[in-house]
Chain A
Amino acid sequence: GQQLNQSPQSMFIQEGEDVSMNCTSSSIFNTWLWYKQDPGEGPVLLIALYKAGELTSNGRLTAQFGITRKDSFLNISASIPSDVGIYFCAGQRAYGNKLVFGAGTILRVKS
């Protein structure tokens, strides 16, 4: 079953607002990844994080690898309509050989 707790499950925000979502686990992770899935498509990698405390940006997106190595968050600043979709966190546990995925956050934007 799911080993990553991703929240919130869904968000409906006004265009221009900032968005924040996070993933937590009881296990330690070596790698955190954030993906976005557009309707009708497969997930696409947005940001990859490799070190505890690491803060990485990709345009209006910023993600951080938690200091405890058990969590990560993704922020989207000044949301626009094309930000709609499902955002997934994924992680590689210490000594793990596969990615574990969160259940996803559905983002809807009102223009």
Chain B
Amino acid sequence: DADVTQTPRNRITKTGKRIMLECSQTKGHDRMYWYRQDPGLGLRLIYYSFDVKDINKGEISDGYSVSRQAQAKFSLSLESAIPNQTALYFCATSEGISYGYTFGSGTRLTVV
């Protein structure tokens, strides 16, 4: 099993729909992150969590929300999807910044 599992891998949804992307990890790390990847823009941080009771906004949190259900689970929601949220979304975990992040395989989301 992968250390960081994201579901679904691909999703097409309609404008205005609510959608949830899920992430679970087996690394036992406290820190979890959600990133968005767009061509030419690299990885942009949406939300991050340093433990179950700690949730923080990243640089592009508008239009998104998160839930940290347990140490191992961190989900990202789009309350009302819009086409410019079409992107590749990555979840990551970390033991500490110096060790880097372990990324999931990503969810490719298309909003039509």
Instruction: Mark A residues whose CB is within 8 Å of B.
Output: 1-2, 6, 9, 30-31, 33, 35, 40-45, 48, 50, 88, 90, 92, 96-99, 101-104
Q: List 23 A-B contacts (CB under 8 A).
A: A1-B59, A2-B41, A2-B42, A6-B42, A30-B98, A35-B100, A40-B105, A40-B106, A42-B4, A44-B103, A45-B100, A48-B99, A90-B100, A92-B98, A96-B97, A97-B50, A98-B45, A98-B48, A98-B58, A99-B100, A101-B43, A102-B42, A104-B42
Instruction: Mark B residues whose CB is within 8 Å of A.
Output: 4, 33, 40-43, 45, 48, 50, 58-59, 90, 92, 97-106
CA gap between A6 and B40 in the complex, in Å: 11
Query: Which among A41, A97, A98 has the highest number of chain B CB atoms within 10 Å?
Result: A98
Q: Lowest 7 CB-CB distances: which A-B pairs, in order?
A: A42-B103, A103-B42, A101-B43, A45-B100, A92-B97, A33-B100, A101-B42
The closest CB in chain B to the CB of A3 belongs to: B59
Closest Cβ of chain A: how far from B22's Cβ, in Å?
15
CA gap between A100 and B80 in the complex, in Å: 28
Query: Which among B4, B43, B99 has the highest number of chain A CB atoms within 10 Å?
Result: B43
CA gap between A50 and B43 in the complex, in Å: 22
